């Protein structure tokens, strides 16, 4: 069964959500019971929550580094969201490079959008520039 991880914005607890349930109804936090907003199966996270999720995830974590002012990021965002709902074997996260500047610098993000895949807490590959939903799905699947 496919799943995703997200952090509750209300109580900061880490939640593992079944993908089918997260897509069919508004997910709620397992600790505080409040609604958790996702975009498809994408969670926007902070540096702290990013680190928690990549350490905990038993599947690849695909991260979109982006910014609100970036034209290609605006085009890529919806494609990233669609791919998250059609890919069963990965967790999808977004990190705003403007609000998480230290992480972006630490990761060596030089241009955006930049998609980075982590497995077992380690970076395994990255791709600069926007991709279509199909290109992203193939990239995640290693094709």
pLDDT tens-digit map of 78-113? 999 999 999 988 999 999 999 999 999 999 999 999
Nearest to 64 by CA among 141, 75, 55, 24: 75
Residue 66 main-chain phi, psi, to 5 deg = -150, 175
With beta carbons less than 8 A apart as the criterion, state whether 140 and 60 touch: yes
Q: Tell how far CA 93 is from the center of its chain.
A: 1
Q: Is the peptide bond before 38 cis (omega within 30 degrees of 0)?
A: no
Considering the candidates 8, 29, 73, 114, report the single residue annotated as catalytic.
73
For residue 41, give both structure tokens: 């199966």
Q: Which candidate in 8, 29, 70, 114 is catalytic?
A: 70
Q: Does the annotation mark 11 as catalytic?
A: no
User: Given a cut of 70, is residue 1 above it in pLDDT?
Assistant: no
Domain boundaries, the chain: 40-140
> Does residue 32 carry a catalytic annotation?
no
Domain 40-140 has CATH 3.30.930.10: no
Cross-strand partners of 5: 16
**pLDDT score, position 143:** 60
């Amino acid at each position: 069964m496919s799943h995703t991880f997200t952090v509750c914005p209300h109580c900061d607890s880490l939640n593992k959500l079944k993908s089918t349930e997260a897509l069919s109804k508004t997910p709620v936090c397992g600790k505080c019971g409040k609604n958790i907003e996702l975009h498809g199966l994408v969670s926007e996270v902070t540096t702290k929550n990013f680190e928690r999720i990549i350490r905990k995830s038993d599947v690849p974590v695909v991260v979109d580094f982006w910014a609100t002012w970036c034209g290609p990021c605006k085009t890529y965002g919806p494609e990233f969201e669609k791919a998250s709902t059609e890919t069963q074997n990965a967790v999808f996260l977004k990190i705003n490079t403007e609000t998480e500047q230290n992480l972006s610098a630490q990761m060596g993000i030089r241009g955006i959008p930049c998609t980075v895949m982590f497995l077992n807490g380690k970076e395994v590959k990255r791709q600069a520039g926007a991709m279509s939903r199909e290109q992203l799905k193939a990239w995640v699947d290693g094709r």
